[in-house]
Chain A
């Protein structure tokens, strides 16, 4: 081959490859896709507006917000399928319990180095409990798996009209413990008809609260094994199942929200996310803290985080998007919806939250109090949460339906569940 020709061809090719990045940059902005799971249309609209606002002020980056499906619409399943196929968005939100399995499988990026390089960022700016899990590291290397979108906690939604009819004190206050709770439930159930004193759903946090308030816990302190094999579990489940056995509650497993909305339930345990929808009912209601159990007050700190897809082509921009999505202003905007509580330790955002639904005279403080002593939603780093969750879920259902005694549950559940933990 002609040597000169060969050299010329080589140089042309090389310069073309060098030109490629330049050309690519010429072709326009970086596009970042992000996704979160809105609970209703209003939320979806707010997130879209946030996305548009950030997009407008951020040069060189185009944002594309995708409203993900709801939980029942297979949000995580779709995400997994997309990650597997490489079509998942750059930044997405996942619930706290899913952080571990996504991180361990290498699906999300460890952001520690980006955070370290970012002078404006400080872990202390965010609520402590989620940050503990978001910076959890199995191998001792610094880790940061994402930033919390918001936090939430449980409260008792109560039907003021029913309490008035029964002529009893509203929930909350000094002596608001399990006994007081049971009494209130009894009084309200005594109103007769389809009226029930109490109702809740049956996913993990619901029975989890009762277990925690009795001094038991899903996990041992090191989070490496099952923590339910103790007498406190028995106490909690005996109390809880007696509520159901005595007909004081909407049957376990049946949707309690419908009857509560229809005005047939005195007290309904649910998270802050249920508040906006509750404005539609035509009776008077308010919220109160969960009752104190034998081991004192308890609640959950629910959280979910924005994380970065491990396969993203723009990790630095994705990190910046994370910080922008969790900025005080954005948190204020989201808090104004009243569906969630800001995850940033920010007075202004908290103030916005406390002033939501003024026309209802809502006791927003109850949720904040709940957070102060709440147990954080826990990602399981040393086991498979979905299997553990499944075993707990079915075990508790058996106890409440009377197919299993609380004692036997406490004695055997850990033998079954410990195989889902790593040695």
Chain B
């Protein structure tokens, strides 16, 4: 072998590098939908719906404070100090006052606006708070606080109410006056750390102090969605102090507890703060779909077994019939052979849809509807496979066969001893085609197998049912798709070396 010069070597390796890079890039592009499917099938539902979309599966880190349920953890900075916070789970829907926000002292404006995206452009306001801009009167009508003055008078009354996890907590009762008229009574939690949103009241005021709320000029702030927004603001005055509060909006304000020091409460908007997430693959999706977990509505395991069963029988059947057929068409001269072959070829060109009703009738005449046999027996007689095998057999030298015939071999034995061993690639090709065809067929099972019949379902049907019944769990639907798509891929990868050879040597190339 000649010695290569350095530049030759370089160009050799550069060429190879380029080739592999190109191949990999194109392969990644081509396989993107499948990669997406696999990853999406390992996501949680919330993560699947997350906006903006991310490729990798994330789960929200949760943590439980002593004696309480697990809650999601968030991370954000207050006063330039980045910390982890637990969100306090409050069911806003249970509140009959959900139109009201709670008044509360939020760390400070700086911290608050940082939760949005444009800290640099913020304007200075003394205190950012959250106050109600509307309330419901007894008839249920919503009334905005316009020029009215809201007055809150904390009373000495303390009541006990069940909070989260049915733990009784103490609440202070406030009287609320609007324009001097008593409209409602509010409660405020005394026992921190987990304030109940619905019953929260300002902690600005001391007990016994009168608090007045007046609407003032709107304040323009740049919000987290990049646009200038006018926020209502109010002046809250108590005998000792006066503060300006900005009304953000109510129902979406959440209460966060400092992870290390749960007494420390911060108010923020959940959708603006960054959740603490880790990459985690939800293999439980597969457990659910494959029936390993106890979720009967999702199970596809029976369909998987049925599909495998049907597919294997159809494949074996097709190979057998087309071996005989292909041999006869290629090697036996009999009257009517060419006409028959033409009819076979023609039948490939008839759209299947038109045959649905006649074949269905045939199935009912045989009593096969809604049974697996209707997916097997009619499909093991194939024109396409016969054609494929015939094209391959034609290429086998006649001499081999003639010698065997002279030795007194029967036709079947010739087929078994000579043709089959020689045509492994072609058979593998045919087998893969059949396998895919049977595994992926969809319209016929849809018609012939009753969707309610779980016993005889195949994967394509199960996937459609899964998609319809679990429209709210797209990640599970992706898992279903993966369960359907991955097994034939594995089979293909195992058989591929025969397959490509098979195409190369069979008549398929034209």
Interface residues of A (CB under 8 A from B): 35, 39-41, 44, 65-70, 72-75, 77-78, 81-82, 84-87, 160-161, 164-165, 167, 169-170, 190-195, 257-258, 261-264, 277-278, 280, 282, 284, 359-361
Query: Which of A167, A192, A263, A361: most chain B Cβ within 10 A?
Result: A167
User: Beyond A41-B469, A66-B450, A361-B93, is A164–B250 a contact (Cβ under 8 Å)?
Assistant: yes
Residue B148 at the chain A interface, CB threshold 8 Å: no
Query: With A77-B447, A78-B446 known to touch, is A72 a contact of B464 (CB < 8 Å)?
Result: yes
How far is it, in angstroms, between the C-alpha of A82 and the C-alpha of B252 when the chains are bound?
Answer: 52
Contact pick for B465, options A35, A70, A85, A164, CB 8 Å: A70
Q: Could you give 23 example pairs across A and B, Cβ below 8 Å?
A: A35-B452, A65-B452, A68-B450, A69-B464, A75-B451, A77-B447, A78-B447, A78-B450, A81-B447, A84-B360, A85-B361, A85-B363, A167-B247, A167-B249, A170-B142, A191-B225, A192-B227, A194-B51, A194-B52, A257-B471, A262-B49, A280-B473, A361-B93
Q: Is B55 an interface residue (CB 8 A)?
A: no
Residues of B with C-beta under 8 A to A261: 49, 472
In Å, the complex CA distance between A286 and B510 comes to: 63
Q: How far is the CA of A411 from the CA of B45 in the complex (A)?
A: 47
Within 8 A of A (CB), among B72-92: 91-92
CB closest chain-A residue, reference B48: A262
Is the C-beta of B232 less than 8 angstroms from some C-beta in chain A? yes
Identify which of A41, A66, A74, A262 contacts B297 (C-beta below 8 A).
A41
A85 to B, closest residue via Cβ:
B364
CB-CB < 8 A to A87: which residues of B? Answer: 364, 369-370
B252 contacts A66, CB within 8 Å?
no
Contact partner of B356 (CB less than 8 A), chosen from A81, A264, A361, is A81
Which of B252, B369, B370, B453 is A165 in contact with, Cβ under 8 Å? B252
Measured between beta carbons, the chain B residues less than 8 angstroms from A67 are 451-452
Complex contact B249–A164 (CB within 8 A)? yes
Chain B interface (Cβ within 8 Å of chain A)? 45-46, 49-52, 91-94, 96, 98, 133, 142, 225-227, 231-232, 247, 249-252, 271, 296-297, 356-357, 360-361, 363-364, 369-370, 446-447, 450-453, 461, 464-465, 467-474
Given A78-B451, A360-B93, 17 other A-B contacts at CB below 8 A? A66-B452, A69-B446, A69-B452, A73-B465, A73-B468, A77-B447, A78-B447, A81-B356, A81-B357, A160-B251, A167-B133, A167-B231, A167-B232, A258-B49, A261-B472, A262-B50, A277-B472
| Chain A residues within 8 Å of B356, by CB | 81
Separation in Å of the A198 CB from the closest CB of chain B? 17
Among B51, B447, B461, the residue within 8 A (CB) of A264 is B51
Contact of B252 among A84, A164, A190, A359 (CB under 8 A): A164
A126 to B154, CA, bound (A): 55
Taking CB atoms, residues of chain B closer than 8 Å to A257 are 471
| Residue of B46, B361, B453, B467 touching A84 (CB-CB under 8 A) | B361
Partner of A161, one of B251, B297, B357, B469: B251
* A-chain residues with CB within 8 Å of residue B91 when the two chains form the complex: 359
Q: Which A residues lie within 8 Å of B50 (CB)?
A: 262
Inter-subunit contact B357/A84 (CB<8 Å): yes
Q: Which residues of B contact A169 (CB under 8 A)?
A: 142
Q: In the bound complex, how far is the Cα of B474 from the Cα of A280, in angstroms?
A: 12
Chain B residues whose C-beta falls within 8 Å of the C-beta of A81 in the assembled complex: 356-357, 360, 447
- Chain B residues whose CB sits within 8 angstroms of the CB of A68 once the complex forms: 450-452
Known A-B contacts A73-B461, A282-B46; A86 and B252 likewise in contact (beta carbons under 8 Å):
no
Query: Are A85 and B360 closer than 8 Å at their CB atoms?
Result: yes
CB-CB nearest in chain B for A37: B451
Question: Chain A nearest CB: distance from B162 CB in Å?
Answer: 15
A72 to B360, CA, bound (A): 20
Across-interface contacts of A282 in B (CB, < 8 A): 46
B232's nearest neighbour on chain A, judged by CB, is A167
Question: A284 to B93, Cβ gap below 8 A?
Answer: yes
- Cβ–Cβ < 8 Å partners of A195 in chain B: 225
Q: How far is the CA of A362 from the CA of B271 in the complex (A)?
A: 23
Closest to A72 in B: B468
Given A169-B142, A192-B227, A284-B251, verify A85-B93 contact (CB < 8 Å). no
Contact partners of A167 in chain B: CB under 8 A: 133, 231-232, 247, 249
Cβ-defined partner of B93 (8 Å) among A41, A280, A359? A359
Q: Establish whether residues B232 and A73, one from each chain, have CB atoms under 8 Å apart when the complex forms.
A: no
Residues of chain B contacted by A277 (CB below 8 angstroms): 471-472
Residue from A35, A73, A258 within 8 A of B474 (CB atoms): A258
Kindly state the separation between the CA atoms of A84 and B356 in the bound complex, as whole angstroms: 11
Residues of A within 8 A of B49 (CB): 258, 261-263
A149 to chain B, nearest CB (A): 16
User: Complex formed: what's the CA distance from A4 to B364 in Å?
Assistant: 44
Q: By the criterion CB–CB under 8 Å, are B251 and A69 in contact?
A: no
Closest to B361 in A: A85
**Residues in chain A near residue B227, CB distance under 8 A:** 190-192
Which chain A residues border B361 with CB–CB below 8 Å?
84-85
A72 to B446, CA, bound (A): 11
Residues in chain A near residue B98, CB distance under 8 A: 284, 361
A67–B451 Cα distance when bound, in Å, is 7
Given A81-B360, A282-B46: A73 touches B469 (CB 8 Å cut-off): no
Shortest beta-carbon distance, B436 to chain A, in Å? 22
Beyond A78-B451, A191-B225, A192-B226, whether A85 also contacts B369 by CB under 8 A is yes
C-alpha spacing A358/B471, complex, angstroms: 23
Cα–Cα distance between A193 and B224 once the two chains are bound (Å)? 10
Q: Give the docked Cα–Cα distance between A11 and B473 (Å).
A: 68
Least distance between A171 CB and chain B CB atoms (Å): 12
CA distance A361 to B296 in the complex (A): 30
Q: Which residues of A contact B468 (CB under 8 A)?
A: 39, 69-70, 72-73
Nearest 6 pairs of A and B residues by beta carbon: A69-B451, A41-B297, A67-B452, A70-B468, A164-B249, A192-B225
Question: Closest residue to B467 on the A side, CB-wise?
Answer: A72
Closest to A195 in B: B225
| Residues of A with C-beta under 8 A to B46 | 282
CB distance from B486 to the nearest CB of A (A): 23
